[in-house]
Amino acid sequence: MDGTRVTVRCRDCSFAATYESLRDARAAVDDHESTTDHGVGWTIESLAAGVSQAGADAGVCGRPECANEDSPLVDPAPPETER
């Protein structure tokens, strides 16, 4: 699959929907939870190639040794503080 696909399902009613963006899925979860007080879960079935690559480059485990230092998305040096 080439794009993002997120499935949202309510644990308390029959609400279920599939979205092509994380933003839209998150909005659906928030809307349904706030209007019904139901518990809603979501499953990320696939991500767009760029999102997957960004996660891989950043080192999704959070450890510096997992990051791709050649990626333009990774800035291993902390920003200098202004004096």
Residue ranges per structural domain of the chain: 5-66
In angstroms, the CA 3 to CA 7 distance is: 13
Tens digits of residue pLDDT in 31-47: 999 999 999 998 888 87
pTM beyond 0.85: the answer is no
Rounded to an integer, what is the distance from CA 69 to the centroid of its chain?
Answer: 22
Q: Is the pLDDT of residue 1 over 70?
A: no
